[in-house]
Amino acid sequence: MSTALTSWTLRFASPLPGLEDAEGFSLREIAGAEGLFALEALEPRVRMFVADASVYVPAYAPVLPAFAVEAVGLASPADGSVLVVVNPSADKTTVNLMAPILLNPSNGVCLQVILDGGKYPLRAELAN
């Protein structure tokens, strides 16, 4: 993902699970934290943090289904960016590797993909 990105308007190809009625998504870079973003919806007002997987979990290489690649308008999964939802807490910070968000950086279309097989955890601890 481009480090020049500061803010994007996003469109989900299919609603985010649990946020089916949310509208007006944007992705905003967090200053001073390369690869960390705030994913925000205008209605209802929601904010969560997502991280560029290539920066925070570089060994993460999920096999993304063809339907997801097609849904966001990519020719190949390698042309997209993979974001993971960040779950901060007082004890530790984890990321959701079971349900990455595939983003087409060319058009702002994205899709959260729930991976089958149990290979990746819902809460993987981030290394310090």
Q: In this structure, what is the dihedral angle of CA atoms 62, 67, 73, 79, given to the nearest 10 degrees?
A: 20
Q: Would the CA dihedral through 51, 30, 47, 94 be positive or negative?
A: positive
Residue 14's SS3 state is: coil
Report how far residue 65's alpha carbon sits from residue 14's, in angstroms, rounded to the nearest whole number: 14
| pLDDT number for residue 86 | 97
The pLDDT value recorded for residue 3 is 41
Q: Quick check: 72 and 111 in contact, CB under 8 A? A: yes
| DSSP code for 23 | E
pLDDT along the chain (128 residues), means of 10: 63 92 92 94 92 95 95 95 94 95 95 91 86
Q: Which two tokens stand for residue 11?
A: 């469109």
Q: What is the per-residue pLDDT for 117? A: 80
